[in-house]
Structure 1
Amino acid sequence: MSGFFRRFFAPRWQHRDPSVRHAAIAQLDIHKSADRHALERLTHDADASVRREALAQFEDPSTLLEWLTTHDNPELRARLMQLLSGSVPGAPPLKQRLDLLDTLDDRDLLVQLVATGDNQELRLAALAKLDDEETLIQQARDNGIAVVRHAAAERVSSTEGLQRLAREARRDKIVTRKARERLQRQRADAAETQAQQATRQRLLEALEAHALHAWEPLYGARYRHLVREWEALTDTPSDAQERRFQEASQRCRKTLSDHDTEGHAQHQAIQRQDEATRTREALVEALEDAVTSLKQASQLTHQDIDSLRAQQRLHGERWLALSDHYPPEEDIQTRYAEAQAACQQIGDAWDRASTQAQALETALRDDHAAIDDCLAKIDWPHDLPPTPLLHEARQLRNAEAADESTPIDLSALRMDLDKLESQLDRGTLKTASRLYRQLRQRLDTLPNGSRGDLESHLKRLGARLAELRDWRGFVAGPKRTQLIESIEALAEDDESPDAERDRRHRQLVKEWAALGDAAATAELSQRFRNASQRIHAALNDWYQQRDAARTRNLEAREALCEQLEELIAHPDAQADPDVLRQIRDRAREQWQQFSPVPREHAKPLGQRFGHIRHELQTLIDRRATEIGEAKRGLIAEAEALMEADMPSSQRTEAAKALQSRWRELGRAAKGEEQMLWRHFRGLCDRIFAAREAERENRAQKAQARLESMQALIDRFDAWQPQSAADSETLESAVRDAEALEPLPGGRRSEGMRRRWQGIVRARRERLAQLVLAEQAERWTHLRPLLDTHVAADDASLRDEQTADVALPEGMPQDLQDAHTARNAARREGDSETANHVLSRLVVQVALLADEPVAEQEEPLRLEVQVARLNNGLGQAPQPDQELADVLRQLLETGPVASDVWASRVTRFDALFDVIAQRVA
């Protein structure tokens, strides 16, 4: 067809004239497929009016959105804008337009929707997809809906954008006001941020400077103040600032930690110093109590001296150990020196008495005149109870002195003169004055001829005493004035604690009394007494409270003594020395805690407590000795256990039982306990070491069995039996595996057992097949004999006289018997029965070869299976035995005709060949 005719018969919407195409659009139906295709083509027309009219036929904006991605033109955008904004009839519902808006990414369309949308929700949804601040400012300034303007203005965040809104948003005063408010708030925030940054920088510099300072009392408070100020700032620090803060904080915390560590160490040192002071006081009190108790005894024995020296040595060692670390105070050092001197004086006196004991006994027995000489050499202290020998000598000496009319003890006078001189050297005026008066009186009673140089010596000492009295008076005057002023000031002091006032008062009274009568006047003494009485009156309530506390302490100490006495009176035979030691130590702590007590009860109660402690220590030592003996018995049992012939596990359990008994016994004496424990632990370690060695030996043997079992498994895993004679090799391996049992427990052993059982099962199956194949091979050797018998049977069935078939050489006994039975059956047998037996044997061999049987042979199969079960007493016989029995029955079954045999022998050949080839 020529071009003319094509143009003549073409549709009008394809006309060359745009006006024709425009007019043809009205005749197209968008619901028809061909017309819709034409309209879609016209949306791409070259004429804009045609495109506009064609697009006006489409009312689905989703279709137009798809076209917008492939061919964009102003008419398409205009039609899409009309449909999305809802400005034309036939526009989709609002919900559909909102759903389409979620997929719309075209900025121009979104801006037009915000400006011209027919619904506030539609405009807000379109506005939410716009991020350009310029567009947001334009909508906040020019949009026709106030809510849209406000929403757009809320999203303007830059300072320049807020400034433009404040200048240009003349249409909406609310937008202008909010823009100005937000602008001011941003400026305030910026200023605040800048101020906080400056503050943060200042804090950083202060913290870094503080971290470089040494510790001072306010160091921690200053650091915590800087940290609180840093944390109170609301802005976020930069990484560099945070790093600087953490480094400075770490240095400050290290300074504080170092100081805390040093302070803790100092506190510990102070505590240790206080503990050492308390320990020293306890040591001194113990020595003083020991000396006092010794002096209050009636007589002095060797046991008392040994106990005193033991305490002196023990306390001396503890004192030296404490002094190596903490020097003692002067007053406690003086008390300790005096206590040691008293102990030493007693010890020296005892040594002198021991040295002169033999001479004194001789004097008592033979020469009473030598008693004085011995007593003078002993020089026994007058305040110390005598030994029994001294007591006897003194009684004899006193009895002889009673007979003399004018006793003269010049040695005692000389000793007292020396004592007076010693007191003057120490400056004890009051004691020296009293002793001087006594010596003066005693010397005056002596005859002039007996005084000798004693009187001149006493005069010299009297002159020294007068000089000391004058000097004390000269020094004591200002001192008394000072003491009076101090005690009167103390009487007026109402702010100091009562305990401190009482301590200061007693100190002043002691210092006043120490002055004696030096520079003493009635007026000064009265003033001192009046001030002291005022202090007593002011502290009356405190004294009552103190006395009540002392009474309570006394009651507590008495109750403690009663409890300890009850414990000592009824001791537990199985008491643990450690518990008794804890009771002893706790009792000592409580005794120190319940202090002070009334003075009149302190000494006797202290002596009572000292006796109780001695008895308690005796009980502890006795129990420790008993425990030591019991532990020696346990050591003997452990040694016997080492030599006993028993399993190591039983020996170990016995050793554990001995250890339990050891722990239940408690501790022996301190030095003995360590020695016994080392011996006992060494024995137990040897027992446990023997057990570990036996365990290791068992483990090595078990490992060796595992390795042997693994080697056996590996060897037989690669071994395959080649003949039935190899069954002995397999059985020998099974016996070897059984000899390796029991294997150690574990997954490896279980895996070995399962693998070995699988190997043995597979090899036995292989041997069974080999045995069966060997039985099948006998068929080939038996076949000529069977053919000979069949030929003889066939001749016999034709009534021909035949001789018995000759017996081949080397035939087994069972087949020999079958051969004999076959010759006999030829003469007397029934061929029908023989044919039936032969058919049944065919089926039986087929079953052994796992070959199918014919349908007509199914009754025979059932008969064979029942017979097999009956012969095996409910169990099927072994295949090789059954096959040997089949061969035997084949040989003894007759007579058989040659045609019947020919029909069966081929089947037998095939079945036996299957059985023989199965093992290949």
Structure 2
Amino acid sequence: MHGLLRRLFAPRWQHPDPEVRRKALQQLDPQQTEQREALMALANDSDSGIQLAALLALDDLNGLLAAYPQHAQDEAWFNALCQRITGVEGHVDLQQRQACASTLTDQRLLNAIAMQGDNLGLRLVALERLTDEEDLVQQACHNSVAAVRHQAAERVNDEEQLKRLLREARRDRQVVRFAKEKLTQLRNDAQWLTDQQAQREHLLAQLEQHARAPWEPLYGGRFRHLEREWQQLSHPPSVSQEQRFHQAVLSCRKTLHDHETQEQARQQSLARRAEAENTRDQLLEGLEETLEGLTHASELTAQDIDSLRAQRQLLGQRWQSLSDLHPPNETTQKRYSQALKQYEQSMEAWQRWQAVSPAVEHALVNNAHDELAEHVATCQWPATLSPPALLVQAQKQLAAQQTAPPPSGLSLNAMTAELDNFEHLLERGAFKSASRLHQRLKPSIEALTGNDAKPLKSRLKHLGARLAELRDWRGFVAGPKREQLCASIDALADDQHMAESALDRHHRQLVKEWKALGDAAANREQSARFRAASDRIHERLAPWRAQLDQEREANLHGREALCEQLETLLSQPAEDADPDVLREIRDKARHQWRHYSPVPREHSEAIGRRFGAIRHRLQALIDQRAEQIAAHKRALIEQVQALQSDTEQPLAARITRTKQLQQEWRSLGRAPKGEEQALWKSFRSACDQLFAQRDAQKHEQATRQQQTLEQLQTIIDEMEGWQPSHAHESAQLETYLASINQLEPLPRNRRSEGMQRRLSGIVRAKRERLSRLDIVSKVQQWHALLPLVNAHLEADQRALNGEGIQEVEIPNEITTHLSTAFNEAHQQRNHARLSATLPLLDEQQRALEEQLARLRVHLSLLALGSVKQRDEPLRLAIQVERLNSGLHTERSKTDELDEVLVALLALGPMPYRLWQQEVNELDNLLGRLARPPQP
């Protein structure tokens, strides 16, 4: 019965029949408040035609936009919305229409707005939202506004669409020009890209071929040219091209480094070879000079033989050590062999003489001519070597006593040989030896008889004349020379300012020159004068020579201490001794050995042999430790090579292990000299290959990170352009955030941080907008429940007037589904009416007023954020309640509004007078909350 009455007395715009509601809608005036509310209610009608007519009558563009997605396929909705936005119908201002157009995503609608808009700015806003290039081509060809055509043409980038634009855009030459320029630019860009790729491939092929080629003088210049050409190309290479380039560069640099190492080693080898040759020549020249001096000496002494033996031993040691490093050339080897041969002859002659010298001395004392001749013949003293003084005396005695002619045959041949030797001595200028030989041969040859002796006598006479000529010449030259030497030594003896070392050096030189003159132009006065001056120099140099002897003794003690230290080191060598440290000890020992020089001659050979043995042992220890280090380094190379092929371990772990192996390599000493460079080359090559893999992985990771940032940028741009128009679109925001979470983790750099800050701002803005739209939907839901509220107010007023208490049913015009909270509030309102004491007591009246005022103040806080001064106590109480309720759960503004509206519906029974006092302010506050957020 109640439903029938309600249908009978309900307004026609609430009639169940859509046709009745449509006719009633045409009679409603939006200028009147109650009829406008009816139109607003019809804007949510279930019939799409009625809903569209109500929105058009209200001129509600926002409503049309909000409802358009559900009716996008309806042509009437499309035409109506298009006419409202383009300005053909309605009275919406331009700014609002532009704002609405900036939020549209429907391409068909945007196309229509760009074609039919009544304002250039509106058309450009719609054009900016177009994304399909076919639509842009359509606008560029057929839009009636030139500015729109030009902007649309500027945004076309696809080659096929540009060709279409060039064919169809005949009415606008500037559009045609845009299309031609872009097509030309695209072709140029494509050609440029092809050229860049071709150049990179060509350079890569040349660089890879260059990496495989052996070194040549122009290798480094060619490599730098190719590398510079690669860097000058502006288009970035691909990942595979970058890897190929990096590998080729490593190979080229390895070739250059290997050549530099080899060249440096070759230069060092040449320098060492030149130094060895120079040292070898100096040693050999010293031995040759000593042997030559023995040939021209007045007599041979044991001191001369000892000096020769020591020099030979030193030469042998140094020659062998130098030959182990660098073998001598053929000429130097021949000189060395000749010098050794001459040395061996001299030493053998001396040993023979040492064996017969006691017998020769005994025969001279006993005047035993036959024994003396036999012993002299046994000695076989070489004619090229100066004889000892005792042998000279024996030869003189034999020459004086030899009067009998020598036997024929063999004796004549011997005499001929002696004459040949005599002639050879004259040619050499050995006057003293030639004179002795002449004195010995002259009696023997003159005693010969017969025709066979005549040639010998004639030759002896001729050679004697040459000897006399040589004697005269020596006397002619030696006389002034002796006088000069006497004057020089007198001046040297009288010079009190010359240093002792220089004095000794000049004195020795003068004595050597004096002895070299022999007996040429000799006289007793000059000899005595020279000897007296020499004695004075000896007396003056006596303290200095004593000091030199002390220094020699000190140097000897220093060499002995050095040998003892090295022997102590070698007796207990450390197992992990560093060969570099041992090499440093060896070099310093050599330097100290040279520093402790000279030493006494009688101890020089023994201490030299001792130091040589120690040095040999030290070098053996160095070689042993260097070989151990070489074995260790070969093991490190094998480990690095194993890391290259170990795909089970991550690359980062392998790189870390490689760096540890590099540190271990640096902590080791040097391997043997010929092997260190080869080991280092292998180790470095293996490490470079691992680092090349790391660089390639980093480049690939950087590329992935760049792609990730580009994807994030795309999502951020899409989110920024997305403007939600309904609260239920929050799922789209969560979809965006889920897409962003899939890109985690993001790279850490300035660009990523900036993008994240921008994303946080966009997300916060979108959440605020969705929250505001949710509030708008709550207010709209309250407006939809106004028939139910009015029904409760009418029932409350009838009950308060005593006209009977009745339960209010949900009106039929409320088509929206009531939430659980509102349904409970509806039941609570009915129960409050049924259980209330009527009429209301004053206390109940004041309680209702206080609760209604409290809800108004709460709503004012939500809408305005402030209240009037008279409502300040209520604001404080509400703030305390909000703080207490927010301790455990976070309450949003939408939840608070929902609670206020539910409480407002449940509050009753409400006198109509009390409601009328507050309803206007409540409507104003809800109107503020119902304002849609600006984009």
Q: What TM-score, normalized by structure 2, do the two folds share?
A: 0.50
> In the TM superposition, what is the alpha-carbon distance from 1:773 to its structure 2 partner?
0.7
Query: How big is the shift at 1:776?
Result: 0.3
Match of 1:917, SS state, is coil
Q: Work out whether 1:764 is the aligned partner of 2:767.
A: yes
| Distance across 2 between alignment mates of 1:529 and 1:306 | 40
Q: For 1:384 and 1:779, locate their aligned partners in 2 and report how far apart those are by CA, in whole Å.
A: 140
The amino acid across from 2:788 in the alignment is L
Cα deviation, residue 621, structure 1: 1.6
For 1:552, the equivalent position in structure 2 comes to 554
Give the distance between the partners of 1:705 and 1:384, measured in 2 at CA: 97
Deviation at 1:675, TM superposition (A): 1.3
Alignment of 1:16-165 (within 5 A): none
SS in 1 for 2:597: coil
1:812 paired to 2:822: no
1:561 alignment counterpart = 563
Question: What is the deviation of 1:782?
Answer: 0.3
Distance, in Å, in 1 between the alignment partners of 2:871 and 2:422 is 159
- Aligned 8 A contact 1:432 1:465 in 2: no
Tell me the distance in 2 between the aligned counterparts of 1:777 and 1:656: 69
Structure 1 residues 524 and 872: CA distance shift in structure 2, 3 A: closer
Secondary structure at the residue paired with 2:553? helix
Task: Report the Cα distance in structure 1 between the residues aligned to 2:715 and 2:753, rounded to whole angstroms.
Answer: 15
- Pair 845,345 (structure 1): closer, same or farther in 2 beyond 3 Å: farther
Percent identity of the aligned residues? 39
Q: Give the SS at the match of 1:896.
A: coil
CA contact (8 A) 1:843 1:861 kept: yes
Q: Give the equivalent residue in structure 2 for 1:720.
A: 723
Deviation, structure 1 residue 667: 1.5
* Pairing 1:811-850 to 2, within 5 Å after superposition: 811-814=817-820, 815-829=822-836, 832=840, 835-836=848-849, 837-850=851-864
Q: Which residue of 2 aligns with 1:896?
A: 910
1:573 equivalent in alignment to 2:569: no
Deviation at 1:727, TM superposition (A): 1.8
Match of 1:312 in 2: 323
User: CA 1:851–1:537 in structure 2 vs 1: closer, same or farther (change >3 Å)?
Assistant: closer
2:893 is the alignment partner of 1:882: no
Of 508-517 and 899-908, the range deviating more from structure 2: 508-517
Deviates more, 1:848-857 or 1:811-820: 848-857
Query: How far off its partner does 1:734 sit?
Result: 3.3
Structure 1 distance, partners of 2:722, 2:284, is 90
Q: Within the alignment, does 1:671 sit opposite 2:674 as a pair?
A: yes
Asked if 1 retains the 8 angstrom alpha-carbon contact of 2:479 and 2:521, the reply is no
Is the CA contact (8 Å cut-off) linking 2:284 and 2:336 kept in structure 1? Answer: no
Alpha-carbon distance in structure 2 between the residues aligned to 1:694 and 1:659: 21
**What residue number does 1:586 align with?**
588
The amino acid across from 1:780 in the alignment is: H
* Displacement of 1:434: 6.5
For residues 275-301 of structure 1, the C-alpha deviation after alignment (integer angstroms, 9 at most, x for no partner) is 996785478889999x9799989xxxx
C-alpha contact 1:491 1:534 (8 A) present in aligned 2: no
Q: Is the 8 A contact 2:280 2:322 kept in 1?
A: no
1:490/1:535 contact within 8 Å kept: no
Work out which of the residue numbers 627, 631, 634 in structure 1 matches 2:633: 631
SS of equivalent to 1:919? coil
**Most deviating of 510-519 and 628-637:** 510-519
SS in structure 2 at match of 1:894: coil
The residue matched to 2:599 in structure 1 has which SS? coil
Query: 1:566-618 CA deviation, whole Å, 9 max, x = no partner?
Result: 33333333333233323323333333333333222222222222222222222
Name the structure 2 match of 1:595. Answer: 597
Checking the alignment, whether the CA contact within 8 Å between 2:630 and 2:672 is kept in structure 1 is yes
Q: Aligned partner of 1:717: which letter?
A: E
SS in 1 for 2:817: coil
1:244-301 per-residue CA deviation (whole Å, 9 max, x = no partner) reads xxxxxxxxxxxxxxxxxxxxxxxxxxxx999996785478889999x9799989xxxx
Distance 1:526 1:913 in 2: 147
Residue aligning to 1:239 = none
What letter corresponds to residue 781 of structure 1 in structure 2?
A: A
- CA spacing shift, 1:876–1:429, aligned 2, 3 Å: closer
* Structure 1 residues 482-561: aligned runs within 5 Å: 484-485=482-483, 487-493=485-491, 494-495=494-495, 498-507=500-509, 509-510=511-512, 532-533=534-535, 535-561=537-563
**Does the 8 A contact of 1:577 with 1:667 survive in 2?**
yes
The amino acid of 1:624's aligned partner reads A
Q: Letter of the aligned partner of 2:559 in structure 1?
A: R
Task: Name 2:201's counterpart in structure 1.
Answer: none
Query: Would the alpha carbon gap of residues 675 and 293 (structure 1) be closer, same or farther in structure 2, given more than 3 Å must change?
Result: farther
Distance 1:275 1:593 in 2: 21
**Which of 776, 781, 785 does residue 779 from structure 2 map onto?**
776
Supply the AA of the counterpart residue of 2:835. Answer: E
Cα distance in structure 2, aligned partners of 1:552 and 1:432: 36
Cα distance in 2, alignment partners of residues 575 and 790 from structure 1: 107
Instruction: Classify 1:509/1:491 alpha carbon distance in 2 versus 1 (closer, same or farther; 3 Å).
Output: closer
CA drift at 1:915: 1.0
Higher relative CO (CA 8 A, sep ≥ 6), structure 1 or 2?
2
Q: Show the 5 A alignment for 1:664-703.
A: 664-703=667-706
1:895 partner SS: coil
Cα-to-partner distance string for 1:148-174 (whole Å, 9 max, x where unaligned): xxxxxxxxxxxxxxxxxxxxxxxxxxx
Kept in 1: contact 2:797–2:912 (CA 8 A): yes
Judged with a 3 Å threshold, the aligned counterparts in structure 2 of structure 1 residues 566 and 764 are, in CA distance, closer, same or farther, namely same
**Residue 464 (1) aligns with residue 420 (2):** yes
Gapped regions of structure 1 (runs ≥ 5): 1-271, 298-303, 321-332, 350-378, 386-412, 442-450
In the TM superposition, residue 783 of structure 1 has moved relative to its aligned partner by: 0.5
Name the CA distance, whole Å, in 2 between partners of 1:383 and 1:430: 10
Unmatched runs of 5 consecutive residues or more in structure 2: 1-272, 291-305, 352-373, 399-406, 436-466
C-alpha displacement of 1:777: 0.5
Contact preservation (8 Å) 1:490, 1:505: no
Q: 2:796 aligns to what?
A: 793
Q: CA deviation at 1:880?
A: 1.4
**1:813 Cα offset (Å):** 4.1
Q: CA deviation at 1:820?
A: 3.5
CA contact (8 A) 1:844 1:861 kept: yes
Match of 1:915 among 915, 929, 932: 929
Counting only pairs closer than 5 Å after superposition, residues 274-285 of structure 1 correspond to structure 2 as 281=282
Contact residue 843 and residue 853 of structure 1 kept, 8 A: yes
Q: 1:345 to 1:570 in 2, by over 3 A?
A: farther
Tell me by how many angstroms 1:771 deviates.
Answer: 0.5
Contact in 1 for aligned 2:784/2:816 (Cα 8 Å) = no
- In the TM superposition, residue 781 of structure 1 has moved relative to its aligned partner by 0.8
Contact 1:723 1:771 in 2 (8 A): yes
- Whether the 8 Å CA contact 1:709–1:737 is kept in 2: the answer is yes
Q: Map 1:213-292 to 2 at 5 A.
A: 281=282
Mapped to 1, the partners of 2:888 and 2:572 lie a distance apart of 86
Match of 2:621 in 1: 619
* Stretch deviating more after TM superposition (693-702 or 785-794): 693-702
Which residue in 1 is equivalent to 2:659? 656
Contact 1:702–1:743, Cα closer than 8 Å, also in 2:
yes
Go from structure 1 to structure 2 and tell me whether the alpha carbon gap of 1:880 and 1:524 turns closer, same or farther (over 3 Å shift).
Answer: closer
Would the aligned equivalents of 2:478 and 2:520 in 1 still touch at CA under 8 Å? no
CA contact (8 A) 1:702 1:744 kept: yes
**Could you say which residue in structure 1 is the equivalent of 2:611?**
609
AA at the equivalent of 1:632: R
Bigger mean CA deviation after superposition, 702-711 or 778-787: 702-711
Equivalent runs, 1:378-389 vs 2, <5 Å: none
- Cα RMSD for the two superposed structures: 5.1
Give me the whole-angstrom Cα distance separating, in 2, the residues matched to 1:723 and 1:571. 89
The equivalent of 2:76 in structure 1 is none
1:747-780 deviations in Å (ceiling 9; x for gaps): 5544443333222222211111110011000122
| Alignment CA distance shift 1:852-1:417 (3 Å) | same
State the alpha-carbon separation in 2 of the partners of residues 594 and 306 from structure 1. Answer: 19
